[in-house]
Amino acid sequence: MSTPTTTTYEKHTLNTKKKSQWLDVWKRLKKSRTAVIGLILILVFLMLALFAPFIADYEKDALGMNVKERLQSPSLTHWFGTDEFGRDIFARIVYGTRISLFVGIISVSIALSLGGTLGAIAGYYGGRIDNAIMRVLDVLLAIPTILLAITIVAALGASILNLMIAVGISNIPGFARVVRASVLSVKDQEYIESARAIGARDHTIILKHVLPNSMAPIVVFATLKVASAIMATSSLSFIGLGIQPPTPEWGNMLAGGRAYIRDHMYIVLSPGLAIVLTVLSLNLIGDGLRDALDPKLK
Amino acid sequence: MLIPVMLGVIFLVFFIISLTPGDAASMILGDGATEERIIELRDDMGLDDPLIVQYGRYMWDLLRGNMGDSYSTGRSVAGEIVQRFPNTFKLTVTAIFLSVLISIPIGVISATKQYSLFDNIGMILALVGISMPSFWTGLILIIIFALNLGWFPSGGMKGIMSLVLPAFTLAIASTASITRTTRSSMLEVIRQDYINTAKAKGVSRRKVITRHALGNALIPAVTVIGLEFGILLGGAVLTETVFSWPGIGRLMVESIQRKDTPMVLGCVIIFSLSFSIVNLIIDILYAYIDPRIKANYT
Amino acid sequence: MKDHILEIKDLHIQFNTDEGVVQALNGIDITLERGKTLGLVGETGAGKTTTALSILRLVPRPPGEVVRGSIILDGIPIMEQSEYEMEKIRGKTVSMIFQDPMTALNPVIKVGEQIAEAISIHQKLSKEKSLAKAREVLELVGIPGNRMQEYPHQFSGGMKQRVIIAIALSCSPKLLIADEPTTALDVTIQAQVLELMKELKQKFHMAMVMISHDLGVVAEVCDDVAIMYAGKIVEQGSLEDVFLRTKHPYTEGLFNSIPNIDDRKAELIPIRGLMSDPYNLPSGCPFFDRCDYAMDICRTEKPVKHSFSDTHFTECHLYTAQPEFSLKSKKTKE
Ligand SMILES: Nc1ncnc2c1ncn2[C@@H]1O[C@H](COP(=O)(O)OP(=O)(O)OP(=O)(O)O)[C@@H](O)[C@H]1O
Ligand SMILES: [Mg+2]
């Protein structure tokens, strides 16, 4: 039943179907007020990260200590006030955005590529390979995610690279599971069978046919995981295992300001709000995407 | 299942920790130690044996309840953990109870009044709830309820009052996600045919919800409660740090700072073991609420 | 006027969805005498389930909305009752058997308790007494009483349907609505379940609305037949009226599309086309574009009711001009 002609035909209709499907998703996403709020928020943060040097000077404002101006309340010159070393909190938050988004995205990419490969292999081949991979993942899953990340950084030492590795590795099992499940859900469909019947190689099938058609849940999951990776980054920095001072990062800003909350609560207010808003915007987008991809639930 | 997974966990954590740079023997002996003393101690501790041999030795000791001695205080790791564990237990169990108690009713009401004001506000709060980093929430609660209002102590563990803020802090994220799960599974369930059957029998609206819908909606909620417990254990590390709560989480952070590897290892193992045991309990609980699974067990 | 258990007048129901408004029911009239059985026939999407649910006032709301119309059940105006009063009516005066037995029972409650629940609600009996009575009802539908303690997943499809029938009959309702009670079952079980329903109907002197798209089932159990199309009753009458003196082209089409045992050489003529889009019903007769007899007027104007006897009527333009018109069908021409 699967001559080459039918497959090209099927591939063709499939591709157009896919395009219009994503267009539909975008249309539905636009209709969701909360998702749009999320998109706008994350756009603002992306802009801040991108144009940070135009907003404040890294050396002078974010790092430069100025004891005379320490612990000042928010004012027109220092929008969010100054910290215990007299540094401008707003400037530090802006530069912190860069780190948070960068670490969040890179560590999710690590988790997605490693976990995704494992999951795709497990789902596609099934049987013993699947079993072996899943047993190893069971072990990883038995360690609470953030604790695994803490352990890895504790052993490797605190640095931005190790932080990304740690957060990335600790998220591998989650991605492996999601990718495996979505591969399983498309693997036995006809177009895959027909691709196999005309002798396509396994990795071609996985990359060209299986993954593109099982993207939806993976995209949603990845969005939500960038949010939790950003949260994990700041958590680790807060306990001294992530980005080290004086580099500005929201978590280590909170750790530094902690001693002054009795009289200067603003010092912990804005870095925390920055975390909440970034994570919230990604969660809003992830939720919106999920509803847009699966309109029958809601 | 529990035992092979735990063996895997211990091996993995043992391996990760062994990547720690620096020499344990010179660390224990301090700066003034002679070369011979260090070599002697390395020999004593078997630090030059292959990793797998060291792992075997560790397991052998572990089976007899020996987790080694702290590098920094020299005290028994197992002893320290046994002493601290009840505190973490108290904190996490209180938090999970709080979460369940708050989240299930809110989730149910939200679902039965979908798109109402209650539902909308509830869902926004839940989304904000999962977007707040617990260490920041903790700081904010300290500022409001300890430093300003003075209702609760800002840290330490003295009496029931000191449990309130940390337990609430820890409970927020899991409350939010259990609420969301309860709501969405409830929404799914109230569309089912058997709900119509119940209504057609003349069952009152309230009983349709409490007796017919909730029993089914709890099944996915229980899964999430189990997963949330893992996240909550991770969160305990941060919450305990913020509130100076003398539990395993804070012990772990302190031990990492002191490069006290046996202690770190012990903490991760005890966390993972607790998580695995909780999941085991959840599995058993499942059989009670879902007769279809009970059939498979007996 | 006869004593009616059910009178539906000019019922309009629509569903307001994100994609648009579905006009599910567009002026339904149904009357049913006590103790009689009405067959409600129509293809998928015709509005059969919606009609049934509206009698129990269980049309999901939102998206459902009753635009206008009245339903009198056993003398009670259903639309005017409070929710609390409806709870007392459901299960006692009228009960319903749903389309799919596989999903109609609660998976986490014991079968016996699901039956006993209705009994304890309406007869205000203690738990033990309701359970004892539930056991009797279960045995009545042919399931041994010792299976009371089991859960639905331990039952086969046919047995589940028996349990559902037991639930529906547990309080001896005056009207039983059965929404395709046998379509989800395999053929041998279908016959058994149907036989059981006929028997129990006699025993309890119930009236029944039997929803089906299987004319064979209808012929077997019904006294009256109503044919539904796109949210309207296009023809209604006694079994003989509708089967032997078919008036509506759609009814004729239904007969022509099922095999006839007596005349197996007769060719099957499926109704061409599909039912009109429920989001966008035509302004004239909804059957217009599928009808072999269509005239110009059918496109523009809604057909009106045309009676042939006290009980037999149809809604079709064919009879406005020529009251004596007769359809060409081979099967109706005896
Ligand atoms: N909850 C709902 N929301 C939106 N539309 C609905 C809903 N329920 C029914 N409809 C629509 O109303 C129309 C009538 O549906 P109904 O279920 O009454 O048909 P039916 O005759 O019972 O069909 P079937 O033989 O498939 O059971 C259909 O077009 C259907 O799509
Ligand atoms: Mg139906």
CB contact set of A28 (below 8 Å; sequence gap of 6+): A291, A292, A295
Q: Is B179 within 8 Å of chain A by CB?
A: no
Residue listed under structure tokens 């009245």: C70
Percent of chain C surpassing pLDDT 70: 93
Same domain, B122 and B202: yes
Best residue among C19, C41, C44 to mutate for probing ligand 1's pocket (most ligand atoms within 8 Å of CB) is: C44
Q: Tell me whether residue B79 is in a domain.
A: no
- What was the pLDDT predicted at B217? 92
Ligand 2 ion local residues (Cβ < 5 A): C 49
Q: Which residues of C64-96 are buried (b: 16+ CB within 10 A; e: fewer)?
A: bebeebebbbbeeebeeeeeeebbebbbbbbbb
**For residues C131 and C115, what is the distance between their CA atoms, to the nearest angstrom?**
8
Instruction: Tell me how many helices (H) and strands (E) chain B has.
Output: 14, 0
At A177-216, the pLDDT tens digits run 999 988 888 877 777 778 878 877 878 887 777 777 778 8
- At residue A4 the predicted structure's pLDDT band, cuts being 50, 70 and 90, is very low
DSSP A252-269: HHHHHHGGGTTT-THHHH
At which of B12, B28, B63 does a domain end? B63
Q: How far apart are CA C264 and CA C287, in angstroms?
A: 28
Residues paired with A95 in a beta bridge: none
Cβ contact A80:A89 at 8 Å: yes
Is pLDDT above 90 for B44? no
Which helix (DSSP H) or strand (DSSP E) does residue C17 occupy? strand C4-17
Residues B226/B218, Cβ–Cβ less than 8 Å? no
Q: Considering only CB atoms, which chain B residues are within 8 Å of C56?
A: 199-200
Range of the domain at B12: 2-63
What pLDDT shows up at residue A207? Answer: 79
Same domain for B227 and B96, yes or no, is yes
Nearest to A280 among B6, B127, B268 (CB): B127
**Among C83, C104, C117, beta carbon nearest to B205:** C83
- The pLDDT tens digits for A232-274 are 999 999 999 989 988 999 999 999 988 888 888 888 999 999 9
List the residue whose alpha carbon is closest to atom 30 of ligand 1: C45
Q: What pLDDT sits at residue C2?
A: 59
Residue that wins the pLDDT comparison between C71 and C62: C71
pTM above 0.95, yes or no: no
The 3-state DSSP class for residue C63 equals coil
Residue A13 pLDDT > 60: no
Whether B55 and B89 map to the same domain: the answer is: no
Q: Can you give the pLDDT at residue B130?
A: 93
Q: Examine residue B73 and state whether it is found in any structural domain, yes or no.
A: no
Q: How many CA atoms lie within 13 A of B295 on its CB side?
A: 11
Residues B91 and B59 in one domain: no
- How many other CB atoms sit within 10 Å of the CB of residue A278? 26
Report how far Cα C293 is from the mean position of its chain's Cα atoms.
28
d(CA C248, CA C283): 19
Note whether B54 and B91 are same-domain residues.
no
Mean pLDDT score of chain B, rounded to an integer?
89
Pick from B13, B33, B63: which residue ends a domain?
B63
pLDDT band at A9 (very low <50, low <70, confident <90, very high): very low
Lowest mean pLDDT among A51-60, B203-212, B241-250, C70-79: A51-60
CA–CA gap between residue A297 and residue B183 (Å, rounded): 12
Q: What is the pLDDT of residues B61-78, one digit of tens each?
A: 888 888 888 888 888 999
Do B58 and B102 share a domain, yes or no? no
- Is position B71 within any domain? no
Confidence of residue B41 (pLDDT cuts 50, 70, 90): confident
CA B189 to ligand 1 centroid distance, Å: 19
Lowest mean pLDDT among A80-94, B152-166, C137-151, C320-334: C320-334
Judge whether residue B149 has pLDDT over 70.
Answer: yes
Q: Inform me whether the pLDDT recorded for A2 exceeds 60.
A: no
Question: Does any ligand 1 atom lie closer than 6 A to the CB of residue C24?
Answer: yes
B190 shares its domain with B242: yes
pLDDT bucket at B289, cuts 50 / 70 / 90: confident
Q: Is the peptide bond before B291 cis (omega within 30 degrees of 0)?
A: no
Q: Which ligand is nearest to the CA of C23?
A: 1
Q: Give the C-alpha separation, B252 to A239, whole Å.
A: 11
pLDDT value of residue B269: 93
Structure tokens, C175:
């009207």
Tell me the CA–centroid distance for residue C279 and ligand 2, in Å. 17
Does B245 share its domain with B198?
yes
Residues of chain C whose beta carbon is less than 8 angstroms from a beta carbon of chain B are: 53, 56, 58, 83-84, 87-92, 95-96, 98-100, 103-109, 117-118, 121-122, 151, 153-154, 164, 167-168
CA distance B100 to chain C (A): 21
Please give the Cα distance from A205 to A261 (Å, whole number).
57
Does C229 contact ligand 1 (Cβ within 6 A)? no
In percent, the amount of chain B with pLDDT more than 90 equals: 56
Is residue B283 within 8 A of residue B51, CB to CB? The reply is no
Residue B187: closest CA among chain A residues belongs to which residue?
Answer: A298
> How confident is the model over A17-54, as pLDDT tens digits?
566 777 888 888 888 888 999 999 999 999 999 998 88
Count of pairs with CB atoms under 8 A, one residue in B, one in C: 81
Q: Give the model's confidence band at B145: pLDDT under 50 very low, under 70 low, under 90 confident, else very high.
A: very high
pLDDT over 60 at A166, yes or no? yes
CB of C135 sitting under 6 A from ligand 1: no
Model pLDDT for residues A101-138, shown as the tens digit of each residue: 999 999 999 999 999 999 999 988 888 999 999 999 99
CB C84 within 8 A of CB B222: no
Nearest residue to A175 (alpha-carbon basis) of A119, A126, A131: A119
Instruction: Classify residue B110: in a domain, yes or no.
Output: yes
All structural domains of chain A, each given as residue ranges with its CATH number in brackets, are 98-297 (1.10.3720.10)
pLDDT at C254: 81
| Segment C239-278, tens digit of pLDDT | 888 888 887 888 888 887 776 666 666 667 777 777 777 7
- Listed residue (C60, C66, C54, C14) closest to C30, CA to CA: C54
* DSSP reduced 3-state for C93: coil
Residue A7 has pLDDT above 90, yes or no: no
Tell me the three state secondary structure of residue C231. coil
Report pLDDT for A85.
Answer: 81
pLDDT score, position A113: 95
Question: Which of A157-166, A181-190, C122-131 shows the lowest per-residue confidence on average (mean pLDDT)?
Answer: A181-190
CA of B43 to the centre of ligand 1 (A): 80
Q: What is the CATH number of the domain that holds B285?
A: 1.10.3720.10
Collect all residues from B whose CB is shorter than 8 A from any CB in C.
192-194, 196-205, 211-212, 215-216, 289-292, 295
Q: Is the CB of C216 under 6 A from ligand 1?
A: no
What per-residue confidence (pLDDT) applies to A284? 93
Q: Tell me, in angstroms, the distance from the centre of ligand 2 to residue C47's CA.
A: 7
CA C114 – CA C155 distance, rounded (Å): 14
- Location of structure tokens 């975390």: A275
What pLDDT does B28 receive? 76
Q: How many H-runs (helices) and E-runs (strands) does chain C carry?
A: 11, 12
pLDDT on residue C260: 64
Answer yes or no: is B244 within a domain.
yes
In a domain, B287, yes or no: yes
Q: Which of B135, B283, C148, C15 is nearest to A242 (CA)?
A: B135
How many angstroms separate the CA atoms of C259 and C265, rounded? Answer: 9
Do B156 and B89 sit in the same domain of this protein? yes
Residue B142 sits at the chain A interface (C-beta within 8 Å): yes
Ligand 1 within 6 A of C91 CB? no
Comparing B218 with C291, the larger pLDDT belongs to: B218
Domain co-membership, B26 together with B103: no
User: Is B236 within a domain?
Assistant: yes
User: Locate tokens 């041994």: which residue?
Assistant: C144
DSSP state of C24: E
The closest alpha carbon to C183, from C213, C153, C156, belongs to: C213
Suggest the residue from C78, C108, C165 to mutate for an interface test with chain B (most B CBs closer than 10 A): C108
Whose Cα sits closest to atom 16 in ligand 1?
A: C47
Same domain, B128 and B24: no
- Comparing C310 with B10, the larger pLDDT belongs to B10
With a 6 A CB cut-off, is C212 part of the ligand 1 pocket? no
Sheet strands side by side (includes C175-179) = C94-97, C175-179, C207-212, C37-41, C224-229, C232-238, C313-315, C305-307
Q: pLDDT per residue over B218-258, tens digit each? A: 988 998 999 899 899 999 999 999 999 999 999 999 999 88
Total domains in chain B come to: 2
SS3 A73: coil
**Higher pLDDT among residues C79 and C278, named by residue:** C79
Q: Which atom of ligand 1 is nearest to the CA of C50?
A: 18
For residue C30, the CA-to-ligand 1 centroid distance in Å is 19
- Residue finishing a domain among B10, B28, B63: B63
Question: Which stretch of DSSP H or E encloses residue C71?
Answer: strand C64-73
The verdict on residue B209 lying in a domain is yes
Q: Looking up tokens 């809601």, which residue turns up? A: A298
Distance between terminal CA atoms of chain A?
39
* B47 shares its domain with B114: no
Closest in B18, B131, B135 to A235, CB measured: B135
Q: Is C148 exposed, middle or buried (0-12, 13-18, 19+ CB in 10 A)?
A: buried
Q: Identify which of A177-191, B199-213, C297-311 has the greatest average pLDDT.
A: B199-213
% of chain C exceeding 90 in pLDDT: 25
Question: Could you tell me which chain B residue has the CA closest to the CA of A136?
Answer: B8
Asked whether C95 and C176 are in contact (CB, 8 A), the reply is yes
- Checking if the pLDDT of C30 tops 60, the result is yes
Nearest CA to ligand 1 atom 6: C15
